[in-house]
Structure 1
Amino acid sequence: MEQIPAAPEFQHWQRNLWVCVLGSFSTIVAMTLLLPFLPLYVQQLGIKEPAAIARWSGAAYGATFFSAALTAPLWGKLADRYGRKLMLIRASLGMAVAMSLIGMATAPWQLVALRLLAGLLGGYASGSTILVASQTPKAQTGWALGILSSGIMAGNVVGPLLGGVLPPLIGIRHTFWLTGAVIFLAFLATTFLLKEVPQQKGAKKASAASAERTPPVNHRVVRLMWLSGMLLIFASMSIEPIITLYIGEFVQGDHAITLMAGLVMSAAALGSILSAPRLGKLADRIGHWRVLTAGLLICALLLIPQALITAAWQLVVLRFLMGMALGGLLPCITAIIRHNVPEARVGRMLGYSTSAQYIGQVSGPLFGGFVGGAFGLRPVFFATSLVMALCGWLNWRRSQKIDEK
């Protein structure tokens, strides 16, 4: 590890990174924890008809991501104005309160409303991305964001696993209360361990004066990064609605199909967790554009054999490799945005980037379900490959124009 730079704004970047990793991990676990038992909780709240249980479960799960997508730019803007640490304190305390209240719900509408509240008050992971991106030396930005991305992905893996283990042991309501307590610990760590160096008044005036002399945002690059981030999540999520049906073509028995589907879904996340710090470090060395473009094109190529498999284990291997290709790309996108946006607007632009990624999280499964229902399961992979290839080409074209300048 290189020595910590002497610049005051970078004094605490390593400590801040690990606080943000742990806080992001715990809040993402909280957002995904209820996946395995959500229908059971809805049933406990008085809904008995299977179709109604499915509707309420879908609404409750999607509510958090919907409200988070709407508010991410606002929290990013406020972070630029009032400080990134303050936003992380707000998010961790808000999530702790919301998760505890979810454990006290007595009706399904309350569950949906509280999940909306969790998304509205949350945003710890996106706030952490803003803080790490803005207060890490540029030479280590890719690596640091890769570590943070691994923590976020780990939360996405561990959350559903804990959601399957804890309710039988301590009950559903106690699971929510325990999660709220863990997030409260993240709130305490954020409050007392995280150090943000505030801008001095003279520095603020200087930065404002320099902002007036320079173009505020490289809009073409930033908008391309928003699109790329959305499509990355889109590609990861597009097979979610069809994965169980697709595996059913190669595996017999409900238990075996469910187990294999879980392995396939976990394989991509595991690949991303392992590769994100390494790809981030590589990007710091050879350039974020190169890693981003190569990752997108490799992802497009790996989607093609996924449509041609003859056994389910092949899909596990290919999804793992695809996860490795995708792992460092969101950190690259964040780093490129940071390098093309003035310091005073980093939070707001990264907030829009987070919203775009939430759009990918919603549109990916919708796209996969539509294409799978209309044209068959295998065309989903081909269509997603085409989308990834187009995104890779757009990034390559933009990077070539930048190199020519």
Structure 2
Amino acid sequence: MEIWRRNLYILMVSQFLVMCAMSMIIPFLPLYLQEMGVTDPDQTQLWSGLIFGINFLSAFLMAPIWGNLADKMGRKIMILRSGYGMTIVIFLMGLAISPLQLLFLRLLNGTISGFIPASISLVATNTPKERAGYALGMLQSGTVAGNIIGPFIGGLMAEIVGFRTIFFLTSLTIGLATVVVNLTVKEEAKPDPEKKQKGFIADGSEILHQKALPILFLVGFMLQFAMVAPMPQMSLFVSDLGAPGGYIAFFAGLVSAVTGLANMLASPLLGRLGDKFGSEKVLFFSMLGASVFFIPHAAVSAVWQLLIFRFLLGLCVGGLLPSLNTLIRKNAPIGKESTAYGYSTSAVFLGNMLGPITGGVLSGIIGIRGLFLLTAFLLICGAFLLRRRLPDSPSQFQRQSHSQKVASK
């Protein structure tokens, strides 16, 4: 098997395991706080929000730094640094006895995180350019599958083994995945140790002065902001629609799961289309498709209608981040790909942080149906911003046609 394919499949499975392990703790976090003695409902909600969000804040701040170090030291070592670091920190979360300790450990976990961005960077830089879209689409499938299955497994295991044991099992899973990467993944495109290195600020300035990259970072922020803004209100929306049998929690989870399933199925296919016809086109039409399917969300009157449109939305969402990551690889300066992915990751994390907060505020003013329409508008704006400011680059199909014409002459 070609080395890039072996790396891809190993990292795809590893990302699935890591995301599955990381998302297992989401369903029972408030209950874990209650076990620590936080019994007041308002205090439980406050601590849950702080503990959940602090991880994204520290990851948002550190992502460009780790990306810059990856360009200097190698991408694989950044995967190992993150994997082994999270193994230790998550194990310690299982020993925490107070919300303050858990808050500090989540802050530390975000600081040392970076397994997913480093994996994306390694695959992007060690895969032939004409197969980058397919490879990044496959990685996206592994990540989404882990996000879908993790909460289900976590909720099930919490009933069987208890909350603290799940942290220990999560630590073990991430540790094993990191060991597998250490033993089997080979990084061929390594940084040149003799190349004179610039400082972090100089590298960042070079990245931000590239014509296309700031546009892509902005689009990444808009994508994530738009996608997560309605999510905290989704269970209330399912309740208002009238969940069959009164199973609100089940159908709220199912609404997220069908979107993730469609995303997982569509990502490799849309990645291949990006390799053939250009990732710019796939990203543009995926954003338009997502905006179109968000509009009927505002008019649904039953849960089954919502499930249909969430699935169709997921088919379009599958083309967003893989295409964006492919374009970042194409437009990043040679040797600065990981730094570019670091800034892109920060933009996505910023969307993760601000989206739910803003969505919660706006839903109180315009309602969740109005929020769906606003989300559609944001995606349309992002699509045409991309179309206007980022010219198409030749696709594999176009390059092959051009080569054939040159050869015939």
TM-score (norm 2): 0.90
Deviation at 1:218, TM superposition (A): 6.3
Query: Which residue in the other structure is 2:89 paired with?
Result: 98
Task: Name the stretch that deviates more: 283-292 or 17-26.
Answer: 17-26
Pair 1:306 & 2:297 matched: yes
Do the aligned partners of residues 103 and 255 (structure 1) sit closer, same or farther apart at CA in structure 2, a change above 3 Å counting? Answer: farther
For residues 292 and 115 of structure 1, what CA distance do their matches in structure 2 show? 33
1:197 deviation in Å? 2.1
CA contact (8 A) 2:21 2:173 kept: no
Structure 2 partner of 1:258: 249
1:43 to 34, 45, 66: 34
Counterpart residue type for residue 360 of structure 2: G
CA distance in 1, matches of 2:237, 2:367: 10
**Shift in alpha-carbon separation, 1:218–1:13, aligned structure 2, 3 A:** farther
- Which deviates more from structure 2 when the two are superposed, residues 39-48 or residues 130-139? 39-48
Structure 1 residues 216 and 255, CA gap change in structure 2 (3 angstroms): closer
1:64 counterpart = 2:55? yes
| Residue 203 (structure 2) aligns with | none
2:287 aligns with 296
Deviation at 1:56, TM superposition (A): 1.1
Report the CA distance shift for 1:402/1:126 in structure 2 as closer, same or farther (over 3 A): closer
Superimposed CA distance per residue, residues 298-355 of structure 1 (whole angstroms, 9 cap, x where no aligned partner): 1111111110112111111111111110112211111111111122111111101011
Per-residue deviation, 1:245: 2.1
> For 2:300, what is the secondary structure of its paired residue?
coil
Cα distance per residue 1:1-56 (max 9 Å; x no partner) = xx84xxxxxxx211111222122222222332211111111111121211111111
Q: Which residue of 2 aligns with 1:235?
A: 226
The residue aligned with 1:398 is 389
Shift of 1:168: 1.3
One-letter identity of the residue aligned with 2:327: I
Cα distance change, pair 216–96 in 1 and its aligned pair in 2 (3 A): closer
What's the secondary structure of 1:104's corresponding residue?
coil
Answer whether contact 2:297 2:309 (CA < 8 A) is retained: yes
Superposed displacement of residue 89, structure 1: 0.7
Distance 1:393 1:197 in 2: 37
- Contact preservation (8 Å) 1:302, 1:318: yes
1:116 maps onto 2:90 in alignment: no
Counterparts of residues 302-341 of structure 1 (less than 5 Å): 302-341=293-332
Would the aligned equivalents of 1:68 and 1:122 in 2 still touch at CA under 8 Å?
yes
In the alignment, which of 134, 142, 160 is matched to residue 169 of structure 1?
160
**Is contact 1:217–1:340 with CA below 8 Å preserved after alignment?**
no
- Between the aligned partners of 1:309 and 1:338, the Cα distance in structure 2 is 39
Q: Distance in 2 between matches of 1:45 and 1:135?
A: 46
What SS does the aligned partner of 2:299 have? Answer: coil
Equivalent of 1:246 in 234, 237, 241:
237
Tell me the equivalent position of 2:146. 155
CA distance, structure 2, for counterparts of residue 200 and residue 290 of structure 1: 31
Task: Decide which moves more: 76-85 or 57-66.
Answer: 57-66
Q: What is the SS of the residue equivalent to 1:167?
A: helix
**Cα gap change, 1:352/1:202 in structure 2, threshold over 3 Å: closer, same or farther?**
closer
| Counterpart in the other structure of 1:196 | 187
Q: Quick check: 2:217–2:343 contact (8 Å CA) kept in 1?
A: yes
CA displacement 1:361-384 (0-9 Å, x = unmatched): 122212221221012221101111
Taking structure 1 as reference, are residues 124 and 201 closer, same or farther at Cα in structure 2, changes over 3 Å only?
closer
Q: Deviations over 1:112-169 (max 9, x none)?
A: 1111111111210111011111111001000000000111111211121111011111
Offset of residue 268 of structure 1? 1.2
Partner of 1:277: 268
- Which has the larger displacement, 388-397 or 57-66? 57-66
Q: Is this contact kept in 2: 1:23–1:124, CA < 8 A?
A: no
User: C-alpha distance in 2, partners of 1:220/1:198?
Assistant: 25
Conservation of the 8 A alpha-carbon contact between 2:280 and 2:392: no
Say if 2:151 is the partner of 1:133: no
CA–CA distance in structure 1, aligned partners of residues 12 and 289 of structure 2: 28
Alpha-carbon shift at residue 239 of structure 1 (Å): 1.3
Give the secondary-structure state (helix, strand or coil) at the position aligned to 2:240: coil
Task: Tell me the distance in 2 between the aligned counterparts of 1:201 and 1:258.
Answer: 52
Q: Which residue of 2 aligns with 1:142?
A: 133
| Amino acid in the other structure paired with 2:68 | K
Residue in 2 aligned with 1:364? 355
Q: Following the alignment from structure 2 to structure 1, what is the Cα–Cα distance between the partners of residues 366 and 64?
A: 37
Contact 2:71-2:191 within 8 A present in 1 as well: no
Aligned equivalent of 1:211: none
Contact 1:19 1:190 in 2 (8 A): yes
1:346-357 alignment runs, 5 A limit: 346-357=337-348
C-alpha contact 1:134 1:343 (8 A) present in aligned 2: no
1:89 maps to 2:80? yes
Aligned to 2:64: 73
CA distance in 2, matches of 1:254, 1:87: 48
Structure 1 position 374 matched with structure 2 position 396: no
Q: 2:22·2:170 contact (CA, 8 Å) conserved in 1?
A: no
What amino acid maps onto 2:213 in structure 1?
Answer: V
**Can you give the 5+ residue segments of structure 2 that lack an aligned partner in the other structure?**
197-205, 395-409
Paired residues of 1:21 and 1:148 also in contact (CA < 8 A): yes
**Which whole-Å deviations, capped at 9, do the CAs of 1:213-262 have from their partners, x for residues lacking one?**
xx877623111111111122222212112212222222158842222211
Residue 186, structure 1, aligned to residue 177, structure 2: yes
TM-score normalised by L of structure 1:
0.91
**In 1, distance between residues paired with 2:59 and 2:342?**
10
**Identity of matched residues, %:** 38
Write the distance in 1 (CA, Å) between the matches of 2:104 and 2:330.
Answer: 38
> Residues 401 and 189 (structure 1 numbering): CA distance in 2 closer, same or farther, change over 3 Å?
closer
